Amino acid sequence: MKRFFPFIHWLPELGRPSVLRADVLAGLTVATILVPQAMAYAELAGLPPVYGLYAAFLPPAVAALFGSSRHLSTGPVAIASLISATTVQGLAPEGSELYIAYSLVLGLFVGLIRIALGALRLGLLIDLLSSPVIVGFTNAAAFIIAISQLHKVFGVEPQQGGHLLAALRVIDVALLAVHWPTLGMAVLAGGLLVVLRRVRWELPSMLTTLVVTTLVSWLTGFSGEVVGEVPRGLPRLLVPDLDVDILSQLFVGALTLTMLGLMEAMAIAKTLAARTRQHLDINQELIGQGMANVVGGLFQSYATSGSFSRSAVNYQSGARTGFSSVVASLVIAATLLWLTPLLYYLPQATLAVVIIAAVCGLVRIQPLVTAWRIRAHDGLIGIATFVGTLALAPDLHLGVALGVGASLVLNFYRTMRPRVVFLARHLDGTMRESDAGLRPDQQLAIMRFDGQLYFGSGRYFEDKVLETIASAPELRYLILDADGINRIDASGEQALRNVVERLREVGLDLYFTRAKRQLTDALERSGLMEQIGRDHFFRWNQHALDYLWARLHPDYKARCPLNVPRSQESQDGEIEYYI
């Protein structure tokens, strides 16, 4: 029962007055941020502001009731709004009834996909989005969102062309025909946001900015664009026509929204769950987010997801259960029922500044720098995703596909060319890479293969072994330190069989140390274990060396560079075979 109705876990806690009071206060706090953000993000999605309030009405409560996280705040978010706009813009004129209908169908479609993925327990698909891809895309999306609001800041008409070209044209037009009252209102809104965040102010800065600029607009007869009349009342039930042709055109955008929305939601949910030691079920969260979009879509909501900023505020405000999101939904309902007339004089420039301020928090440069320092290829993937998303806009899904494709190809290439090193004895008695200035032995070599031995790396493994033979004419025994081989398939087994046969053809022999069960079990089943010989498998490198030194010459150990320095040599023990 609790699996289908997760809220049963926390519902009894509301019987404690302290928990109920904390959730009510947190819900009220989140709602004060949600109102201005919802209206602003609806504008970003190309929809009238009231649809942002519709998206903030039912989805937060439904996601909290059927999701896994107690603190995740669901509703309109910047990136989902941008992707929704870019998906629908090619199908209908922005602002038209058909555009609105497609946006609502897209949100419903996203919900159905998320529910299906959660029910099939496919939440692991989020792992396809590596950190550099996520950061690169998010930075690019934040930049695109910010420049898309410039025409509202300057009070000029939006220009045609791609996002970058349109932004340049807006700036060019604004240099000659800027609407100064609109720019002044934008500066006022931006200044308020900056100042209120730096001083001790009890009310949320966004709500205060919204109230102040609306009052200024009303009192001065502001000549710039305002929100205008916002329909009063709760959204009515509206079952959209799920036409197959429409769904096929929306599928790529819906899939992109599903993956990126889940990534955004799970990133903050995992962080908050770790702080509260709460168990987080990614598949249950998928179902909760999916139901939020389905129920919301039936009541005129466009695509929603978990919000970084509002979830953090929810946690910091002391929320204890998902009931805080239910309270936030109730506040939005009250706003729709009684407060929408107060929004008439809200300047569009204020909403544009709210959007720009919100997405500035999404920009992160340090993770890309860190990725570059760890591995240059990862940094390049992040940069490629960033540049690709900007260049391919408004087709944002292509930027994501570029990053994911590059990550998969690079990762596959790495597994095809795993690290192969030869070991030599250091003065402290440990085995280290021989290319670190340590002296190898001419008749004994220890090779370590750090990767899967499968169809992609089998030929590479063979080539490395044959290169070793060619470069060491006096070599008699090759020891394979197999500790790094975690998996072997049929092609890998065949490569290993080929190596054993080639070595024995030229009078050499291959021995194994530190082989894991995954490897030895596979060799047992294939019969290669018997062909190689069980006496060729040792638990430790030292045991294999002791055995082979004795075979080479009774005095060979004393002069072998692979021997432990006498002053640090541990007490010899009996040779231990692995098998």
368, amino acid identity: L
pLDDT at 2 over 80: no
Average pLDDT over residues 126-139: 85
User: Long-range pairs for 244-248 at CB < 8 Å and ≥24 separation?
Assistant: 246/102, 246/105, 247/105, 247/109
Distance, in Å, from the CA atom of 364 to the CA atom of 513, rounded to the nearest integer, reads: 45
pLDDT digits (tens, 9 = 90+) for 188-233: 999 999 999 888 777 778 889 999 999 999 999 999 999 999 999 9
Taking the C-alpha atoms of residue 528 and residue 523, their distance in angstroms, rounded to an integer, is: 5
Most confident of 47-56, 278-287, 364-373: 47-56
What confidence tens digit (pLDDT) does each residue in 492-540 have? 999 999 999 999 999 999 999 999 999 999 999 999 999 999 999 999 9
Nearest residue to 236 via CA among 314, 336, 319? 336
Q: Look up tokens 């993925």; give the residue.
A: 117
**Nearest of 136, 138, 140, 166 to residue 154 by alpha carbon:** 166
pTM of the model: 0.81
For the chain, what is the largest distance between any 2 Cα atoms, rounded to a whole number of angstroms?
103
C-beta of residue 155 within 8 angstroms of C-beta of residue 187: no
Q: Residue 491's pLDDT is what?
A: 95
The confidence score (pLDDT) of residue 262 equals: 82
pLDDT in tens, 469-495: 888 888 999 999 999 999 999 999 999
- What is the pLDDT at residue 574? 52
**Is residue 181 scored above 90 in pLDDT?**
yes
- pLDDT tens sequence across 237-296: 988 777 788 888 899 889 989 888 888 788 788 878 878 878 888 899 999 999 999 999
**Mean pLDDT of the 67-75 span:** 92
pLDDT tens-digit map of 146-173: 888 899 999 988 877 666 777 888 888 8
The residues pairing with 431 across neighbouring beta strands, listed in sequence order, are 425
pLDDT classification of 183: cutoffs 50, 70, 90: very high
Residues found in the chain: 579
The predicted pLDDT at position 80 comes to 92
- What pLDDT, in 10s, does the model give residues 562-576? 886 544 444 444 555
- Going by C-beta distance under 8 Å and a sequence separation of 6 or more, which residues neighbour residue 301? 51, 54, 55, 57, 58, 59, 104, 107, 235, 293
Of 554, 538, 542, 573, nearest to 429 by C-alpha is 542
The string of DSSP letters for 505-549 reads HTT-EEEEES--HHHHHHHHHHTHHHHH-GGGEESSHHHHHHHHH
Q: List C-alpha distances in Å: 29 to 19, 34, 73.
A: 15, 9, 12
C-alpha 404/C-alpha 424 separation (Å) is: 39
Phi, psi of 304 (to 5 degrees): -125, 170
Question: Are 143 and 280 spatial neighbours (Cβ–Cβ below 8 Å)?
Answer: no
Q: Kindly state the tokens that stand for 25.
A: 């206060």
- 84-124 pLDDT, tens digit each: 999 998 889 988 999 999 999 999 999 999 999 999 988 88
All domains of the chain in start order, with CATH = 16-408 (no CATH), 419-568 (3.30.750.24)
What percent of the chain has a predicted confidence (pLDDT) above 90?
58
Looking at residue 569, its pLDDT comes to 42
